[in-house]
Each structure stands twice: as C-alpha cells, then as structure tokens.
Amino acid sequence: MDLRFTEEEVAFRKEVRDFIRQNLPARTRERLRLGYSPTKQDIVDWQRILNKKGWATYKWPKAYGGTDWSPTQRMIFQEENQINHAPEVNGFNITMIGPVIIQFGTPEQKAHILPRAANLEDWWCQGFSEPGSGSDLASLKTAAKRVGDDYIVNGQKIWTSTAHHADWCFALVRTDPNARKPQEGISFLLIDMKTPGITVRPIISIDNSHHLNEVFFDDVKVPVANRVYEENKGWDVAKFLLGNERTGIARLGKSMERINYAQELARDVRQNGKPLIEDAGFRQRVAKLQVQAKALELTQLRVVAKAAGNSDGKPDPFSSVLKIKGTELLQDTAELVMDIAGPLAMPDWAKELDLLNRESGDNEPLIGPEWAGYAAPPYLMLRAASIYGGTNEIQKNILNKAILRL
Amino acid sequence: MDFELTEDQRLLNDSVSRLLADRYAFDARRGYIKSAQGWSQEMWEKYAELGLLGLPFPEEYGGFGGGAVDIMMVMEAFGRSLVVEPFLATVVLGGSAIKYAGNEAQKGEILPQIVDGSLKLGWAHGEQQARYDLTDVLTTATKDGSGWVLEGAKSVVLHGDCADMLVVSARTGGDRMDKEGLTLFLVPANTPGVARRGYAMRDGTRAAEISLSTVKLGPEAVLGTVGDAYGIIERVTQAGIAAFAAETVGACEAAHTMTLDYLRTRVQFGRPIGTNQVLQHKAADMLIEVEQARSMAMLAAMMVDEEDAAERTRNISMAKVGVGQSGRFVTQNSVQLHGGIGMTEEYAVGHYFRRVMVFEHSWGDSAYHLGLLADQVG
Amino acid sequence: MELRFTEEEIAFRQEVRAFIRGNLPAKTLERMRLGYPPTKSDVVTWQRILNKKGWATYKWPQEYGGQAWSPTMRMIFQDENMLAHAPEVNSFNITMIGPVLIQFGTPEQKERFIAPTANLDIWWCQGFSEPGSGSDLASLKTSAVLDGDHYVVNGQKIWTSTAHHADWIFALVRTNPQARKPQEGISFLLIDMKTPGITVRPIISIDGSHHFNEVFFDDVRVPVTQRVYEENKGWDVAKFLLGNERTGIARLGKSMARLEDIRELSPHLRNHGAPLLDDKLQRERVASLEIRAKALEITQLRVVAKMMQQSDGKPDPFSSLLKIKGGELGQDTSELIMDAVGPLAMPQWAKELDLLNRESGENEPPIGPDYAGFAAGPYLMHRASSIAGGTTEIQKNILNKAVLRL
C-alpha cells in the first residue's frame, strides 16, 4: 500500500494543469472563480477545446475516442479541472448518453450521435423524473404508444436541467402499461427537442436562476429508430446509465477549490478590526473542512483503486458514500464562502454584477465588491446536491441494502 | 416566571393572524413583491389601523404602550407569513433609535407619524467594510457653523429605498474602530447629497446602498448626544436582533408545518414518505430545534429592556447563536425533505429558507456572536 | 408573559442554596465535585437530611409529606441540588414507587411502605427491562403464577440499577400469558430482595463501575398482598409511573455545574503553555454549551409553566424533548471535562483515588491529580443517557406519535 501518487501521476497532473491554465478562456475562469455558474457558451467552448485535445471523452473506450487513463488519472483530471476553475463538460453528453450509445446503440446511432455528443454539437438533457416519480422513478407515467414506425409520446417530465439549452432529450417512457412489474414496461427514447408538441416551461430556482424545467409532451412523434435497446427494456439502460462511473460524483476538486478561495477572501475581510483569517474560530472551521476533504480524497482513491481491480462494470455501492460526503462538503464549503461575505451576500445583486452584462457595455457602476455579489447563489443552489441523483436518504438506503443488510 | 399572554396580547395576536390569513396568502405576497416598491402600501395602512405601527411607543405619542413581548408576537406572525413591509426598519430599528435617543421635540414630531403610517424610517448604520463590527464606521460628520456635513456611504440599509427619513451614524471623533466619537443624525431622505440605490434582497425584501456626499444638516438633526451614540447603536441593533429572531421562529415553524404536510401527502413507492422512520426522526429533530429557537427568541425579547448592558448584550448574543443555528438546521432540512419542489422559487419553503439566511447574516452570524461570547468565558 | 423569576422564587432559591451549603456533608460534596458517583451512604445520608427538613418528598401530595411548591420551585430545587453537587435522592423511592403507592396502594401498603420509602430505610429498585424486552417493554416474559395466596415468580430482569443495594424491588410480571394484547396480562408486584430464589449478578459498565445488575427469579414466592392495583392491570401502573413528573429529566443543573467546573479546572490544565481557557477555541466550546443550556433552561420553564395550567396529570410529550436535549448536554459537558483533562483522564485510577479507600486508611498515595481520576467516568457512563428510560430514538417516536402525527 502506498498512498502517495507515483511520479507518472504527478507528471500527469502537471500536464493537465498546464494545459488548463494555457487554454481555459480567461473570462470563463474569472466567472467560475467568483462563484457564477458557467454560461452555455463557457461549457461549449471548453468542451470543444478538450475534445480537440482528445480529453473531453476520456472516460469512453479508446475505440470511441477515449483514453486509457487509469482511474487515478481520471480522478486527477477531474480534480484539476475543478481546482483551476474550468467548467465541467456536459455530463448528459459525456457520462450519460455517450456510454449508453456505446453500450446499447445501433451502428447508425453510434455513427451519428457519438461525435456530435463529444464535440457538444448536440446538447443533451435527461428526461427521467416526473411530478409523481422522484425517488420512485419506476412509477413514471409518460406514455409512448407505437403507431407504425413512430411512438406517440404524451406526458410530463420535471426537474429537467438545461432543457432550455438542449437539442436532444433522452427520456424514459412507458411503452407497456400492463407489464407485470413497473420496471418492465419502460423504454428509452431519444427525442429531438424541436419536434412539434414539446413545450419547455422554466422552473426558477431559489437562487433566482433558470436551470431546471418542466418538459411537456403532447402527441410528440418519435421514430422507432430513435429507441435505444429493446422495447420495454429501458430500465436496464437506465440502470446502466445511473451506475456508470460514479467516482466523479463527489466533485471533490470543487470543494477543495472553494476552501482555497475562502482563505483568499478571508484575508481581505475584517472582523473585530483584524483580517477574518486571523480569527481562531474561522481557522478552525477551515481546518475541519480540510480534514473532511482529505478523508474523502483518500476514500475516493480507495474506491477508485477497487474499480481498477474489478471490471464487472457493476457500480460500487461505496460510491454512495462519495455522493453523501461529497455533497455535504460542497454544501458546507459554499456556506463558508457565503458566511465570509456576510451581509454583503444578502442583496440580490447578481444581475447587476453579471460579467456578461458588463461585457455588453452596461454603464451602471457595480454595487458592492463583486466577489460578494455571487456568494449566496451557490449556497442556495447546492441544497439540491443532496436531492438530485438520488437523495442522500436514498443513498443511505442503498448502503443499507448493499452493505449493511439490515 | 409567567408565560401567559395577557388578554390584550391574545386579542392582538388573533387580529394580526386573521389579517394575515385573509390578505397574505403566498400568491398575494408574490404580488406585493412584484409591485414597483416591492411591498404593499395597503397592508401598511392595515397595520396602522390595527395599531401595530405604534405597538412599542408610549401612549402619549399615540402609541400602544406595548413591550418587547408584543413585538415578539407580531414578528412571529410576520415570520409565518413572510411579511415584506418595512416594519422591522421603521418600527423596530428606526423607532427604537428615536425612543432611546430622541429628545421631546423629536419624539413628539416623529413617533406620531410612525404610528399613523405616514413616516417610514431607515436605519443607516452598516457600511460595506464593516461586516458585523458595530464600531467600524467611516462615514464622517464635520461641524459646519452650528450644523453638520455628512460624508460617506451606508450599506444594506433595510428598506432604505423607501424610507422617508434615515437615522445615520457618523464619526464626529475617534478612529475607525473606536466606540467613542459616534453620533446619530436624522436625515430626511430628500436632503440634497443623499443618493440611494435600491435593490431586492435574496429573500425578496428591499434594501439600499446610500451615499452621502456633502449632506448639510442643521443642529437639530443630531439624535442623542454628540460623540456618544455607541450605546444607542448597540441597543437598536439588539432590539433588531430580538425582533428578527422572533420572525425567524415564525418562519421556522411555518417551514416545519409545511414539511409535515408534505411528508403526509407525498407518495413514493406506494406510501406517504412520512411513514419512513428516518424522515419521522428528522422531523422530530426539527420540532426540537423550532422549540429551542422559540425559547431563545423569548430570552431575547425579555432582554431587550434589561438595563444591565453586559447582561443584555450577553443574552442577546446567546439568542442570536441559538436561533441562527436552529434556523439553519430547520430550514435546510425543510428544503431537503421536500426534495426538488423545495428548490423552486414558486414554492414557499425556499422563501422561508432564504428569510432565515438573511437573519443569520444580519448583525453578526452565529460564529460571530459565539466569538463574542467566548471572549467572556473564563 | 414574564420570563424573569419572581422575588419569591429568588428568595426560595437562596433558601435552598443556603440549606444545602449548611448541611451537605463535605466528603459527599468533594466526591461529587470530582465527578464520582455518590456512594450508597452519600445518598442515604443526604436523603435523610432532606427528609427531616420535609424536602425529600417535595413532589408528593401534602398529606403524604409533600410540599406545595410550584413546578418552577421544584425546578429550582432540583437545579440547586445539582449545582451544589448534592446527590440526587433515590428516585426509585421518591419519583417512582412513592407516587405509585399513593395513587394505587392499599391502606396497608401505604402504612407499611410510605414512611420508610421517604426516609430511605428501604432502598427500592426497578424490575422492568428484560433481555428480550427493552424498548418493547410490554413483551416482558417474567411469569407470576398464582399458588394459593402467593405468586410464584420465575424469570429474569436486566439493567437493574442498584439492585445490589436494594432492599425491595418493584417489578412487572406476566400473570396472564393468554391476554388479547401483551399489555393486558401484566401485574405490578413488590418483592423483598431477601426472598429465597433471587440472585443478583453484577454488570460492570464501560466506566468500570458497578451500577447495573441482572436479577434472576427462581420460584420466588410473593404474597398476593404485595400486588399493587388489580391483577393484569400492572401496565396502567407502569404507565402512570413512567409518565410521572418528568421535568427533572433534563438534569440540567448537573450540566451547568460542569460548565462551572471547567472554569475551576482551567488554571491546572495547560494548553500551548497557558491555562486551558486562554484558548479562544476552548472558550467557544464552553460558550456554545452554555447557549444550549440556556435554551434548554427556558424550554424546561415553558414545559413546567404548561404543567401548572393543566392538571389532567397526563405526561407532556415535550418532556421527550427535555430528555433528548438534556441527555445530549450531559454527554457533551462530560466529554468537555474529559477532553480538558486529556491524557491524565485515560488511566484507570478511580480505585486508587477513591476517597472512601483513602479514608479507610489505605497508605498508598493517590496517583495523579485528584480531578483527573474520574474525569472519564461520567463521559463513559453518560452514553447511557440516550439509552436508559426510553432511548432517544424511542423519544422521537413519542414526539412523532403525539405531536407530528406522521
């Protein structure tokens, strides 16, 4: 056992870091450093830069444009992206639909979809959750009726992230309402968002941002050729997708980056006439978060090492530990940054501060220091981190079922 | 020891609750926020009619002669309904400043106008560099004949955009962090040199940045004693903390109630999610924290009128920490137990969550007050 | 609403404080201050002193020797006892069997037991829990079969505190195994611990102390006249007993006393070359516990005030809140003391330090400073605070059933 990185791994980290520093657009970097969400353009630009280098699809098999990086290298790559304020690639494209098509797609589907997904020519979104089907996903009701060479889709999806940006949606639909078990009547369809009958309604989040949507399907025609895998076997596809490569789930680099950022800020903020960074209570809070991040880093390395050892492709139930602790750390580090800003984080200044607007020639002077203007939204938005992708309560149920067996 | 409400208090509580039940449904509130000024003039007049705007002021000025417990009750009700009118700014903060520091002429002129709803006040003390330090004031007031000239800027002034009159703190002496040398001034908002930029807060209430450049005031603008305002600033802040703490308790209580309703009605895997013991225990933890926060808000209310400054300061800090920590716990978990719907702008629980967040970041968060208390241990 | 104490209440507090200072034996005070559990003789001596004053049975109705104190005064009395390091009176006698006999006892039972119970001439213990019946008490199996004018008792009790000190035990036994519901076949018996067939086996706790026991009943003959209330109605008695006066349940005074102790200990405990409480983080820890104690104090007063208004005698479900938060505070304040003492709290010195042993003329000098010898004991023993008397989890179930109704 050796918990240190090898020389090769250290060199790899440096290569990745240098590449990001040299190629990440300055505006994107600044926006992310201040806590803004990346714009659609930020993500598209960065994913294409990575794709040109062959790194956007590093998780895919080599035959499909992937790399043969070890799990540790993958982890290093993700961490360096997050620490250096690079946007994450579009996860719907890279982690979800890409691997699904590689595993289950027809040759035609592979040829058409994969290169466009890799280069973010098509922006994908995920149509899984429904108003009545959250944690209990298999109870979904959106219906697809076979008529000739088409399915006619009717129903509603909800919590659809970036549906308003998306060109395509991969969706779970019910093709057999009379199946013995709810899981057995579900199919996996690829739906062009420009198809008539699709309506996207924004859901504004508590940070005042537009990230989530409802998507309504009203007699939407989907060619049978756009079904992935067999009819009524969509649940297998969904299980594969949800279990696929979950080591990135902790988003640890992001938390580490926030801890560093918080220390930077705390040098400039004063409390009781001294820099906040000199306050013992504050320092202890930072130290506690660093300890948690270190523990999670090592746990993540252990999970990664195990994944390297067994290739049965089954998801490791321990990834639920990574999800729970990773999202808690994301929430706590965002809270730390907000607490540093204090009262200056409370005004809803985001619009006025928006770097995009400033670029567009807005003349009004800024209100308050710009780093404070976006200190609260990540705190608000990250409350969702312990909800989406299986709530942390559901993750604990998974741990119980797979490991504790109580 | 007596937790009983008086007959008057019970009546007041009933009438406030009834008014808010009738006029402050979540959709109605959304409408008030969307209006140009961001709150409801009509509701403001209703509060005046009910006597709420005169609650803490002596009867000789048209007030109700009530105390901190009356304010606590009203604020709890306001917290349950997420009221956005400038009550805290005008009645609690501005009103306390006048009550504690005003001379007879100032009280006689200003308090009756607060009571009848015609005058709104803003408490313009905080500054961008100050964070939570009450002594960190850079705004200056220099003598100009018999009068004064103000120069500086005030930050996150609650409802500062709609205030008719601002209570402004400024340095007439001393250095940046000194307790000595602070003076309060009454500044009509339309005084030349006062510029305001209003904005919405994260919870939908209003606030403003205020700049003061060569603001000329007469000698009658001084509120209290020149150079000796720190004690008043502390008391006003403490009255604000006590009132806002009660509002936070109301918000937590409502968020908890909503969460219980959701746990009873949301069905997954064929049964209400509230049948899961793990969620029941989380809801029990939240109940405990709501009640502990209520106890601490009561402590704060009781201490507002305590004359022993050290005892008052210590207990208000304790209440701020207790309510702040319980509030974070209750509202964060309210969002969590709601799942996706809790994350949305159109659902009330996220608004309770943000109101409590604003409480936590007003006049010192839990960590700040814990630090102050720690300095007294030993 | 008035949260301040009245002048009468303040005067009462002074009176109680003065009495304890004037009458608590010095040895007892010293032992309790150092964190030792009181000896049997400490408890007996103190309870008799209080009983002479009429204060041991203050909770009882006045005609049975009780006091007409308000709930607030009761709370003050309890807090002052704990703050002054006085032992608690034997609660099996005072809070449990006394009120039970007053409520349900026959004139003969009252005549025989009440006076010696008050004066601790009889030491009672409680025979409720069994190996298979913890949280689910009604499933108890110890049987009592009627044989003439005696019951013949067979079975086993466990977690029986101070059974090794006890003269008598009050026990729940099953008299009708065929009852429709398990609660309906239980009776409440008073059993002389000297009866043939009773065996007491010690259970040593994780702090090395002997507090708990197993009690075995092997054909133990108990006169029918020692049954309290009707046959098969013992569950009603148990419910009355468990719901009876629970305001003292938070044991807040004890926690507050520890927060005073830490200030006394501070100069002896060096941290970075300075007294412990020169460290801001240590002070924050103390302040944070004091805030929790303050919140609990007010909540307790609120519960007490509510009880003053309603006299239906039903237990307030909020006493579960007091138990949960009071138990946590006991755990966390004892942890504070142990952590403050640090490595010196780790040796098993209790025996050697025992003041009783030293008084008995043992010549060996004690090892280490006297404050360190029992610093870990309360921490270890307090783990039981969230287990005994209904676990914290069960208390939350009670809150759910009575208040949340999920």
Q: pLDDT tens-digit profile of B128-155?
A: 999 999 999 999 999 999 999 999 999 9
Running DSSP on this structure, what letter comes out for residue A251? Answer: -
Neighbours of chain A (3+ CB pairs under 8 A): B, C
Q: What is the dihedral of CA A345, A347, A351, A356, to 10 degrees?
A: -30
Is B50 part of a structural domain of the chain?
yes
Q: C313 versus A21: which is more confidently predicted?
A: A21
Mean pLDDT of chain B: 96
Q: Of B77, B97, B120, which residue is a domain's last?
A: B120
Q: Does one domain contain both B209 and B261? A: no
Same domain, B242 and B370: yes
Tell me which of C37, C69, C89 is where a domain ends. C89
Measured between CA atoms, how close is C391 to chain B, in angstroms?
A: 13
Query: Is A188 exposed, middle or buried, given 0-12, 13-18 or 19+ CB atoms closer than 10 A?
Result: buried
Using a CB–CB cutoff of 8 Å, tell me whether C10 touches chain B: no
CATH code assigned at B32: 1.10.540.10
For residues B280 and B159, state if they share a domain.
Answer: no
Q: Which long-range contacts (CB under 8 A, 24 or more apart) does B264-270 make?
A: B264/C406, B266/B339, B267/A132, B268/A133, B268/A134, B268/A135, B268/A136, B268/A139, B269/A135, B269/A136, B269/A139, B270/A136
In a domain, residue C210? The reply is yes
Chain C CB within 8 Å of residue B307 CB: no
* pLDDT given for residue B252 in this prediction: 98
d(CA A73, CA B206): 49
Listed range (A234-248, C81-95, C181-195, C326-340) with the worst mean pLDDT: A234-248
Residues C372 and C224 in one domain: no
Smallest Cβ distance to C305: which of B3, B277, B299? B3
Residue B341 in contact with partner chain A when CB distance is under 8 A? no
Same structural domain, C257 and C392: yes
Nearest CA to C74 out of C46, C95, C92, C90 is that of C95
Q: Is the Cβ pair C302, B3 closer than 8 Å? A: yes
- Single residue among B120, B141, B176 that ends a domain in this structure: B120
Please indicate whether, in this complex, the C-beta atoms of B280 and C295 are within 8 angstroms of each other.
no
Among A346, A381, A386, beta carbon nearest to B358: A346
- Residues in chain B within 8 Å Cβ distance of A266: none
Give contacts of B 227-286 with C, CB under 8 A. Answer: 260, 263-264, 272, 274-275, 277, 279-281, 283-285
Q: pLDDT band for position B1 (50/70/90)?
A: low
Residues of C in Cβ contact (< 8 Å) with A406: none
Question: Same domain, yes or no, for B282 and B347?
Answer: yes
B165 and B300, same domain (yes or no)? no
Query: Which residues on C lie below 8 Å from A284 (Cβ)?
Result: 281
The set of chains that have 3 or more CB pairs under 8 A with B is A, C
* CATH number for B256: 1.20.140.10
Q: What is the pLDDT of residue B13?
A: 93
- Nearest-Cα distance to chain C for B321, in Å, is 8
pLDDT in tens, chain A (406 residues): 677 889 999 999 999 999 999 999 999 998 899 888 899 999 999 999 999 999 999 999 999 999 999 888 998 999 999 999 999 999 999 999 999 999 999 999 999 999 999 999 999 999 999 999 988 999 999 999 999 999 999 999 999 999 999 999 999 999 999 999 999 999 999 999 999 999 999 999 998 889 999 999 999 999 999 999 999 999 999 999 887 756 678 899 999 999 999 999 999 999 988 999 999 999 999 999 999 999 999 888 888 777 766 656 566 788 899 999 999 999 999 999 999 999 999 998 765 555 444 555 555 666 777 788 889 999 999 999 999 988 999 999 989 988 898 8
* C238/A257 Cα distance (integer angstroms): 58
Report the pLDDT value the prediction gives residue A313, as an integer from 0 to 100: 58
Return the pLDDT at A355: 47
C334 is a domain residue: yes
| CA atoms of A103 and A122, how far apart (whole Å) | 19
In this prediction, residue B46 has a pLDDT band, given cuts at 50, 70 and 90, of very high
Same domain, B91 and B180: no
C302 and C252 within one domain: yes
- Please state the ipTM of this predicted complex: 0.89
pLDDT digits (tens, 9 = 90+) for B337-378: 999 999 999 999 999 999 999 999 999 999 999 999 999 987
Beta bridge partners of B212: B152, B194
The total of other beta-carbon atoms located within 10 Å of residue B348's CB is 21
Containing structural domain, residue B367: 231-374
Query: With an 8 Å Cβ cutoff, is A134 touching chain B?
Result: yes
Is residue C223 located within the same domain as residue C266?
A: no
B48-102 tens-digit pLDDT: 999 999 999 999 999 999 999 999 999 999 999 999 999 999 999 999 999 999 9
Residue B1 resides in a domain = no
> Domain check: are C258 and C397 in the same one?
yes
Nearest-Cα distance to chain B for C256, in Å, is 14
Q: pLDDT at position A36, please?
A: 84
With respect to residue C320, please indicate whether it lies within any of the assigned structural domains.
yes
| pLDDT surpassing 70 at residue C361 | no
The predicted pLDDT at position A34 comes to 86
Q: pLDDT tens digits, residue range B276-334?
A: 999 999 999 999 999 999 999 999 999 999 999 999 999 999 999 999 999 999 999 99
Q: Which of C234, C262, C287 is the endpoint of a domain? A: C234
pLDDT per residue over C92-115, tens digit each? 999 999 999 999 999 999 999 999
Asked whether the beta carbons of A215 and A200 are under 8 A apart, the reply is: yes
In angstroms, rounded to a whole number, what is the distance separating the alpha carbons of residues A103 and B256? 45
- Touching check for B272 and chain A: CB below 8 Å? no
Q: Do A386 and B209 touch (CB under 8 A)?
A: no
Residue C46 forms part of a structural domain: yes
Q: Verify whether the Cβ–Cβ distance B156 to A282 is below 8 Å.
A: no
Q: Are residues C358 and C328 in the same domain?
A: yes
Domain boundary among C204, C234, C264: C234
Residues of A in contact with B368 (CB under 8 A): 271
- Check residue A116 and give its pLDDT: 98
* Residue B1 to residue C3, Cβ atoms within 8 A: yes
- pLDDT digits 0-9 by tens, C264-288: 999 988 888 899 999 999 999 999 9
**DSSP assignments along B91-149, one per residue:** IIIIHHHHHHH--HHHHHHHHHHHHTT---EEEE---TTTTT-TT----EEEEETTEEE
| The predicted structure's pLDDT at residue A356 | 46
Chain B residues in contact with A270 (beta carbon < 8 A): 129, 131, 133, 136
Query: Is residue B351 a part of any domain in this protein?
Result: yes
For residues B304 and B257, membership in a common domain is answered with yes
Strand partners, A347: B201
What is the CATH number for C209?
2.40.110.10
Q: Is the same domain home to B200 and B241?
A: no
Q: Are C230 and C257 part of one and the same domain? A: no
Q: Which residue of B has its CA nearest to C399?
A: B284
Domain that holds residue C228: 123-234
For A135, which of B199, B207, B268 is closest by C-beta distance?
B268
Number of domains in chain B: 3
**Residues of C involved in catalysis:** 245
Residue C96 lies in a domain: no
Whether the predicted pLDDT of B156 surpasses 80: yes
Q: Identify whether residues C229 and C250 lie together within a single domain.
A: no
Average pLDDT value for residue range B8-35: 95
CB contact under 8 Å between C278 and B378, yes or no, is: yes
Is C206 in CB contact (< 8 Å) with chain B? no
Q: Which of B98, B120, B142 is the last residue of a domain?
A: B120
Interface of B with A in 120-149 (CB under 8 A): 126, 128-129, 131-133, 136
- What is the tally of structural domains in chain C? 3
Burial class (CB in 10 A: 0-12, 13-18, 19+), A154: middle
Are residues C250 and C230 part of one domain? Answer: no
Asked, for residue C112, whether it belongs to a domain, the answer is: no
Residue C274 sits in the same domain as residue C317: yes
Tokens of C305: 């005030």
Instruction: For residue B41, give every residue at least 6 positions away whose Cβ sits within 8 Å of its Cβ, in sequence order, or none.
Output: none
Q: Which domains does chain A have, with CATH numbers?
A: 7-89 (no CATH), 124-232 (2.40.110.10), 246-404 (1.20.140.10)
Q: Are residues C138 and C180 in the same domain?
A: yes
Residues B173 and B222 in one domain: yes
Do B204 and B306 fall within a single domain?
Answer: no
State the amino acid at position A214 in one-letter form. E
Q: Are residues B208 and B314 in the same domain?
A: no
Averaged pLDDT score across all residues of chain C: 90
Give the whole-number percent of chain B exceeding pLDDT 70: 100
Whether B127 and B238 share a structural domain: no
